[in-house]
Amino acid sequence: MKKILSILLILILSCGVANAKGPSGGASHSGHGGGHSSHGGPSHSGHAHSGPAHTHSNHSSGSDSHPVYLVNSNHHQEEVKFQNCDEHYAITDVTTNYYSDGTQRVFTNSTIYNSDGTVLESNCLSLKHTIYEDKHYFIIRNSKGYKIIDNKGQVLTFRKYTKMEELKPNRILARHDKKYGVIDLHENVIVPLKYQNLEQNSENVFIAKLNGYYGIIDIENNVLVYPDCEKIKPLYDTMVLKRYRKYGLVKANGEKVLNPNYDKIKKLGEYILVRQGNRYGVLDGEGNFISEIIYQDIKLERNKLKGMKYKNNWVDIL
């Protein structure tokens, strides 16, 4: 009798354990919550893309996960005609991928053709056609970087560039080995490729960063302000420079307005406020003095410049 009761007890316990695990003996998963889903769109390895950067990652909320997956792909071709050029044209393949989180990415790949239909250059992630002295050139980016070719397909550049931007005819802002400079269409170096950064302030003038300090150069490599300033920034039609904790002012073309002998230079509406010691003066947006540096304070009230000569005595400056 005891043996029979023992056997029955074992059978009852075994059934309880099996029911707790479920029919498969483990947890059940369904839908897309456990991983990434692939929807078999065309492959574009190495193609350029635009739109927000997209990573496929799970955003978990409790035990639920919501992966981002490809919803749809749209593909079409565009014909590109170049201005003042009958010898060449381009066909650009454009693929737009749409994702489940509402974002999209655009991939492009262009091929340049001669007018007779033969290929001049393929696998262009971006391209720019330019004309100089009646000759046609193409500034191209591919998977290896940037290069320049002529209308015969001959490569005119031999360094590995990571950036090229046409500034004006026959002048290209270029980056090589993490340094910036200016070259022409035949890779002659105009501004040495040595600067940490070249920020274009006007068509022909750059704020140049060299070894952590700033200066001003023009597009033909003329040094307008030696690169020994802690800071240079545009201000209306001028540039403010900081050197040895003092501030000065130059025009957009680098012409000197104020030597760096001032304790503060800043915007005041459409004007420029300067401080020397405990006295203030004001200039217009081109750097011309409107007042002498004689005021304890200067303010702009109802679009009128007012200066305080002594305590609470405000007078009109203009």
Nearest to 283 by CA among 291, 275, 315, 307: 291
Report how far apart, in Å, the C-alpha atoms of 112 and of each of 108, 132, 149, 156, 158 are: 13, 19, 11, 17, 20
**pLDDT reported for residue 64:** 56
- Which parts of the chain register pLDDT below 50? 1-5, 7-63
Q: What tens digit of pLDDT does each residue of 59-86 get? A: 334 445 789 999 999 999 999 999 999 9
- What residues contact 182, with CB distance under 8 A and at least 6 apart? 167, 171, 172, 173, 174, 189, 190, 191, 198, 219, 221
CA–CA dist 92, 78 (Å, integer): 5
Q: What is the pLDDT of residues 273-287, one digit of tens each?
A: 999 999 999 999 888
pTM for the whole thing? 0.73
Distance CA 14, CA 17 (A): 5
Residue 48: per-residue pLDDT: 37
Q: Look up residue 284 and give its two tokens.
A: 């217009």
Residue with tokens 């501030």: 247
pLDDT at residue 56 in the model: 40
One-letter amino acid at 282 equals: V
